[in-house]
Amino acid sequence: MQMSNFRLALRNLSRRGFRSMALAVALALVVALLFAGAIAMKSISTSITLGSQRLGADLMVVPEGYQDSARATLIAGKPSVFYMPEEILDKVRKVKGVRKATPQLFLKSAEFECCTYVDILLVAFDQESDFTIGSWLKEAIDRPLEDRETIIGRSIPLATGLTMKYFGVPLKVVGDLAETGLEYIDHAAFMTLATAREMIRKSRTMSEKPLEIGEDEISVVLVQLDPAITPERAKVFVEYEVEGVKALTSQDVIGTVKQQLAVLVRTIGGIGLSLWLITVVLIGLVFSMSVNERQREMGLLQAMGAKRRNIFSLVALEAALLSLAGGLLGLGAGGGLLLACREPLRNAFKLPYLWPDTGFVLLAALSAVIAALTSGVLAAAWPAFRISRMEPYQAIRKGE
């Protein structure tokens, strides 16, 4: 009887092809939105977590007035450049609660012959005092970085062993980093501070647009704090004792992204829930209409020996097949939506994006299909129960 029910269910769905397709498409829209939303939110969340871990500092000290530029550089990878005197580094090191402090210098590639690739963020760091970049650059090479060498982010299309040139200084690529979803890392080239100083000097004679940076200037100071002091408290100390700077905590840096993420979650969740409720109600109404139209058919099946549970399972099976088709269609549509909207989403909201691992994608896909199946079967449960409880004679008479 199970095989017979399966065949009957397929035949009944195909006889009402337009109605069945409309319901499958409606359910597919919900599945696509929820699946794509779950993957997108996980991607952004993973990127934020990985990026904040790789930042590796409790505080980032920047010139006063450049807080937004610093956030744009770290989160969106926007090649922003800002500078302050290197003497600030020594002042920060003397602030209460500061355990370590290290400088970084940002250079922006120019659109001239001096630069191999444009819109690249060149990040220079001091290997002697560094406690952030060096630890994860070890993924690419197992030795200190030498002058005129660089390790590049995954988004720069250059193989290890080749050479880039910036402001008259050649940079040999000695390694690349795993993708993080953060443009600050993925679309940047990392080099020694001495190499950056050489670029500043040579740009004055070898570049159409020299770098207007003093050789005693830096962009940021990254700070590691004593565990006994909170970042919020240390931030106050730094800004009070060091004139002309602002200190950003990790929360300051990623707070805007988290707020945008929360808005996206609420929006997608609200739309998805509304569509899900509408679809469940729609499936219930359509199956109620369907069983009303087929009362005579159901009555004849019972008269021929079909039991009530067979009638119930037939209607439930139709709903399950319809829901499964809608779920699979929704997964395909959701995957396509993710691929199509990945870059527009990142550009519009300035959010990082890193595709989640295969395990999470499979879990999300399975959950979406199970949710679709459950929704469809539950929506059709009452019409199925009602028709299965009717006496054969009564069902045949009402269906005439």
Per-residue pLDDT of 349-366, as tens digits, reads: 555 566 777 888 888 888
Over the stretch 30-56, which tens digit does the pLDDT of each residue have? 888 888 878 877 777 776 666 666 566
Over the stretch 320-353, which tens digit does the pLDDT of each residue have? 888 888 888 888 888 887 777 766 666 655 555 6
pTM > 0.95: no
Q: Which letter does DSSP use for residue 120 in this model? A: P
Q: Which letter does DSSP use for residue 167 in this model? A: T
311 touches 8 (CB < 8 A): no
Q: What's the Cα-to-Cα distance from 345 to each of 216, 260, 264, 361, rounded to whole Å? A: 39, 11, 11, 19
Q: What pLDDT score was predicted for residue 47?
A: 67
Backbone angles phi, psi at 40, to 5 degrees: -65, -45
The stretch 283-305 carries a mean pLDDT of 64
Which amino acid is present at 97? G
Reading the block at residue 268, the tokens are 């997608």
Burial 55-86 (b: 16+ CB within 10 A, else e): bbbbbbbbbeebbebbbbbbbbbbbbbbbbeb
Q: What pLDDT score was predicted for residue 2?
A: 45
Q: Measured at the alpha carbon of residue 85, what is the angle toward residues 82 and 87, in degrees to the nearest 5? A: 145
Over the stretch 124-143, which tens digit does the pLDDT of each residue have? 999 889 888 777 777 778 88
Residue at token pair 């004849």:
300
- Quick check: helix, strand or coil at residue 110? coil
Give the C-alpha separation, 183 to 335, whole Å: 23
Q: What's the Cα-to-Cα distance from 324 to each of 217, 359, 381, rounded to whole Å? A: 62, 21, 16
Q: How many CA atoms lie within 13 A of 349 on its CB side?
A: 20
DSSP class per residue in 318-367? HHHHHHHHHHHHHHHHHHHHHHHHHHHHHHHHT----PPPHHHHHHHHHH
Q: What pLDDT score was predicted for residue 273?
A: 78
**Band of residue 99 on the pLDDT scale cut at 50, 70, 90:** very high
Residue extents of the structural domains in the chain: 2-50+257-398, 65-243
The stretch 178-195 carries a mean pLDDT of 80
Q: What's the Cα-to-Cα distance from 196 to each of 23, 34, 105, 209, 241, rounded to whole Å? A: 61, 47, 8, 16, 29
Q: What's the whole-number average pLDDT of the chain?
A: 77
CA 103 from centroid of its chain's CA atoms: 30
Over the stretch 225-260, which tens digit does the pLDDT of each residue have? 998 888 889 999 999 999 999 988 876 666 666 666
Q: Measured at the alpha carbon of residue 328, what is the angle toward residues 291 and 339, in degrees to the nearest 5? A: 145
Give the C-alpha separation, 250 to 269, whole Å: 27
Reading the block at residue 308, the tokens are 């009530």
387 touches 298 (CB < 8 A): yes
- Which distant-in-sequence residues (6+ apart) come within 8 Å of 334 by Cβ? 31, 32, 33, 34, 35, 36, 39, 368
221 touches 101 (CB < 8 A): yes
